[in-house]
Chain A
């Protein structure tokens, strides 16, 4: 049975508001599906959903967010077969290599799941000020993060850019790989069935070049990851647009998605809050 592929916005699966779709082929050019092609309006709807979800998600305990991320890994495991065949078709990998990529993607969710309740300890601090004050600093989510996901790595790359943003309490609007959107759509379906509140992760299929400028200039987006933009000039344009509300920008760079991820993607979307109070009796 052929499946119908849709966007994932605010916990629901709308077709693009524009009614547009585009042809997705496998690595050899054979027809796979018609995917929805997200429009400017879809991007705006997704930002509204992400903003609405931010308060609740960000207020959850770290323990709970870690549980939800781990749940994503569990649910992905159950769809291993489907992810493997989509990754294999999209990226032109053998099924065994694709399986390994799916395993790595699941492991990555598990890795980030464990960070939820450790970030404050590793990144925060108690500050020994020279005065009678108790002074501590805690990390906190930046807000709504727009992610232009990697074009090459359809699942592992996508996982590696979404998980670190949401684990600390941010909400995400992600634009998937244009040519390889199927694993992203399936990941949206996983989100919908794995305790992730609607709106925390929104996945748009379509062109990052088309939707990116609307996200980069959107005044209710707090940070943007440009890693899916291949053309340096285009990335520069988006970075300039992002400056209007001083978005935190992650510039595109050569990345090895199978390498150890380090902390930078986690800390990129954190603010640090420092609280002072006098000490006395």
Chain B
């Protein structure tokens, strides 16, 4: 099949001013780390070094937590909700003002297409700050009693798939509820968090209310285990979530965990076919499949299997993989060499276990980390590619005959984050939504997010919700 050729339409990098090195953001200032080795953050699309970033050691984390504690006790805690709200509104406005810059920076550091960072991530980031800003002076209406109290210092650890959006999910409700925060962005994607630190300065946010400590697992562990952290919020792998749940055992710390998933995207024979194909593609190839709620298990009713597969493959053939800053790009770079290796390994296992692998013909750039959109057919429930989270653009297809069988297959996983249903029959949608053991169910759509809408998982996908009133509740003691 021939492909449309597009002229390159790259977004300019000129709007972003990346410093050669960054310190930690503690108590309102960028400061040097005392005991960690600096590390480099690169563009996964080109392997170009973007900047050198400090690694926060335990002493730095301690300094950040102290700053947060002091700010909580002296400034942010006693401040009226009305005044806290104004800071959050101001931050939301600053994010809007700098949205193009943030989108370019996010695409550079993360590898995601500019189309997504510009149209999805950053607008949602601003929307989260707007939404929670309005809660700051209405906490007594949040449904947790008439005198809800913040926990105190929140230690937050976020992943690399949506660096800025996860920051907003964590920081906006925490601050609205009156907590102060120490946030650790992922080691491969620290730059937008550091840009956010600047935004805090521009907003005149009191020093210590937001602190950003960069580093890898060791830094995160020091933060989570710090005895003066009252509330731990983590988004990432189930494995690390489990370790965090163990490390906070026996402490007073409140915990919310947003962990992995292996969502079933269920297609019935009466599904609106064009929308469904778009939904399947969006479900697994959005953000290179680096989405914990990605629709990575496609369950297709047998009667429409051939048609769905043929159309899906045809659609996959039109996906453009390449430069994240090109506005035509659908699929950007895999975030890191390590993640690429994991995707390759699991895909190889898929082949070895007997599933059939298919990718459209697709020229990948010579430098950087790339993986073509891939679909596996002939997958059984026992295959590892049907059970484990791949976190990449890899779709496993299974079939079913009856709604009951679809439910059983969909629920046959230790995860329970999300699910998709495609059918024209309203009563079946509601019946299915009722049966599925998942925190988010998208019917005739997929991967929708909104600050007003709670998000979070059942079972081993973690506990607690983010977004909406329920996301605020996670930051209030009651």
Contacts and interface: CB of A to CB of B under 8 A. Distances in A.
Interface of A: 122-123, 125, 127-131, 133, 135, 137, 142-143, 222, 232-233, 235-237, 239-240, 242-246, 248-249, 262-264, 271-278
A276 B242 contact: no
Contact of B143 (A122, A129, A137, A278): A122
Interface residues of B, number: 43
19 contacts: A123-B143, A125-B469, A125-B470, A127-B453, A129-B453, A131-B450, A222-B459, A233-B250, A239-B250, A243-B249, A244-B242, A246-B242, A264-B478, A274-B440, A275-B433, A275-B440, A275-B441, A276-B442, A278-B444
B448 interface: yes
A143 B414 CA distance: 13
Nearest to B420: A276
Which 7 A/B pairs are nearest by Cβ-Cβ distance?
A236-B250, A243-B245, A239-B249, A129-B450, A127-B453, A277-B443, A243-B246
Nearest to B275: A278
A246 B454 contact: no
Contacts of B478: 262, 264
B452 A246 contact: no
Given A129-B448, A272-B465, A273-B441, A240 B453 contact: no
Q: Report whether over half of chain A's contact residues are helix, strand or loop; otherwise say mixed.
A: mixed
A249 B145 CA distance: 22
Contacts of A232: 250
A43 B433 CA distance: 32
Given A130-B127, A232-B250, A246 B238 contact: yes
Interface string B442-478: 1111001010111110111011010011100000001
Given A137-B468, A246-B463, 15 more contacts: A125-B470, A127-B450, A127-B468, A129-B448, A129-B452, A133-B445, A137-B470, A239-B250, A240-B246, A246-B460, A262-B145, A262-B478, A272-B454, A277-B443, A277-B445
Contacts of B460: 245-246
B257 interface: yes
Interface of B: 127, 143-145, 238, 241-242, 245-246, 249-250, 257, 259, 414, 416, 429, 433, 436, 438-445, 448, 450, 452-456, 458-460, 462-463, 465, 468-470, 478
Contacts of B429: 277
Nearest to B460: A246
A135 B249 contact: no
A246 B259 contact: yes
B439 A125 contact: no
A278 to B, nearest CB: 5
B457 to A, nearest CB: 8
A236 B433 CA distance: 36
A251 to B, nearest CB: 8
B90 to A, nearest CB: 20
A273 B453 contact: no
A272 B462 contact: no
A56 to B, nearest CB: 13
Contacts of B440: 273-276
B448 A131 contact: yes
Nearest to B259: A246
Contacts of B452: 127-130, 135
Given A245-B414, A246-B459, A276 B443 contact: yes
Given A222-B459, A245-B414, A127 B246 contact: no
Contacts of B249: 236-237, 239-240, 242-243, 249
